[in-house]
Amino acid sequence: MILKQLNEREAQVLKAIVYEYISTGKPVGSRSFVQKYSFSLSPATMRNIMYDLEQMGYLSQPHTSAGRIPTDKGYRFYVDSLLDTYETVAKNGVEVREELLTREIELDKIFMSIVRMLSLISKYTGIALMPKPDFTVVKHIEIISLTANDVLFIIVTRTGIVIHKNVRLSSPVNQDELYKYSRFLTAELSGYSLVEIKQSLINQLRTVTGIEPQVRDIALDITELALKDEKEPEIYIDGIENLLHIPDMVETEKLREVLRFIEQKDTLRKIMEELRQKEGVFTLIGEEIKEIAIPCCSIIASSYKIGNSPVGVVGIIGPTRMDYEKVVPLVDYTGKVVSNFLTQMTK
């Protein structure tokens, strides 16, 4: 196959075919297509173009004598061409209301309503990866005794997120001793982000003076232990039922697979985690989702930031054949709103 840039006409046709297939769900045939889109071309010519596009890998046929449907490569072309122009659309007709955010205080509720909104507006499944605490700034640390050997390590971040972890000690420590640790840790660590603490601060503090060395050492040990295997940030999902009215999902087995994938969350989290590190809106189409084959599904996601660090992801899961014009700006815009909000909140 010869590599070749699409010429203008081919590009137009390809976009229109993908668009048509997205809205109807039926393979696009030459005759009705030229008519509907008033191309001043005969069906025969259209067939030739389609044939070329098929050769180049943008289209395929479910069977001989059926119309064409886009391949993943075809969708990819379509989305990319959208991204060039969608920004002007972004604020129009998209109903994410910023005030909604400021009314709520608790972060989990905020994200729940964001995910709900995404699903309601897009009519697909909304997803959000909660902010990775790594980049949030410690405000307070408290260690509380549970049983003789078990303590609860609590970090409060400046955003009001509470991270807590049970830690089992090798020897019992009483609560008064724990208070000392808490005071020491709060004094030394507040104002720093978790990632700074993990990567360097703990080790620097190992030699700090002006504190009983034993308190210092045990306190830092507990901190290290508590931060070691940090809990994966939660994923919120809403609108799973929207996956059901995806026309391509008639085969129950496919649907089960998708549901299992979504419920399982680990794989989804891994994928989201990767997306977090990309800039802006990112789209995973069909088989491009490498970890697992989720049939007929695409993910459109945007990482959001606190300041300059991308800390989480919002987006939607929908059918590969989906309404990209609407969804891409929606997800992008939502990401920006969340970024602004969180950045504001942390100041």
Binder of residue 44, out of DNA, its own copies, none (CB less than 5 to 8 A by kind): DNA
Nearer CB in complex with its own copies: 76/165: 165
| Torsion over CA: 291, 294, 298, 300 (sign) | negative
Binder of residue 51, out of its own copies, DNA, none (CB less than 5 to 8 A by kind): DNA
Binder of residue 234, out of DNA, its own copies, none (CB less than 5 to 8 A by kind): none
**Contact at 8 Å (CB) between 243 and 255?**
yes
Q: Which stretch binds DNA (CB under 7 A): 33-41, 191-199, 218-226, 292-300?
A: 33-41
Tell me the two tokens of residue 319: 């059918």
170 counts as binding DNA under rule CB under 7 A: no
Nearer CB in complex with its own copies: 20/142: 142
Specify the amino acid at residue 194: L
152 counts as binding DNA under rule CB under 7 A: no
68 counts as binding DNA under rule CB under 7 A: yes
- Residue 54 DSSP one-character state: H
Residues near its own copies (CB under 8 A): 105-106, 139-140, 142, 144, 146, 150, 152, 154, 156, 158, 160, 162, 164-166, 168, 238-241, 244-245, 252, 255-256, 259-260, 263
Q: How many CB atoms lie within 10 A of CB 192?
A: 14
Nearer CB in complex with its own copies: 63/231: 231
Shortest Å distance, C-beta 85 to its own copies: 34
216 counts as binding DNA under rule CB under 7 A: no
Binder of residue 47, out of DNA, its own copies, none (CB less than 5 to 8 A by kind): DNA
Distance between CA atoms of residues 58 and 67, nearest Å = 13
Tell me the two tokens of residue 320: 């590969």
Shortest Å distance, C-beta 34 to DNA: 9
User: Which residues, in sequence order, are bridge partners of residue 300?
Assistant: 283, 316
Q: List the one residue from 13, 22, 30, 320 that touches DNA (CB under 7 A).
A: 30
Q: List the one residue from 6, 11, 16, 32 that touches DNA (CB under 7 A).
A: 32
Distance between CA atoms of residues 50 and 326, nearest Å = 26
Distance between CA atoms of residues 157 and 194, nearest Å = 9
Dihedral class, residue 307 (left if φ above 0, else alpha if ψ from -120 to 50, else beta): left
Nearer CB in complex with DNA: 60/159: 60
Residue with tokens 């709103």: 337
Binder of residue 122, out of its own copies, DNA, none (CB less than 5 to 8 A by kind): none
Distance between CA atoms of residues 114 and 96, nearest Å = 8
Shortest Å distance, C-beta 25 to DNA: 11
User: Which residues, in sequence order, are bridge partners of residue 60?
Assistant: 69
| Cα-based torsion angle of the residue sequence 241, 242, 247, 253 in order, rounded to the nearest 10 degrees | -40
Q: Which stretch binds DNA (CB under 7 A): 43-51, 161-169, 205-213, 299-307?
A: 43-51
85 counts as binding DNA under rule CB under 7 A: no
Residue with tokens 């995806």: 246
Nearest to 146 by CA among 181, 184, 172, 180: 172
29 counts as binding DNA under rule CB under 7 A: yes
Distance between CA atoms of residues 244 and 25, nearest Å = 15
Binder of residue 30, out of its own copies, DNA, none (CB less than 5 to 8 A by kind): DNA
165 counts as binding DNA under rule CB under 7 A: no
Residues that bind DNA (CB under 7 A): 27-33, 40-45, 47-48, 50-51, 54, 61, 63-68
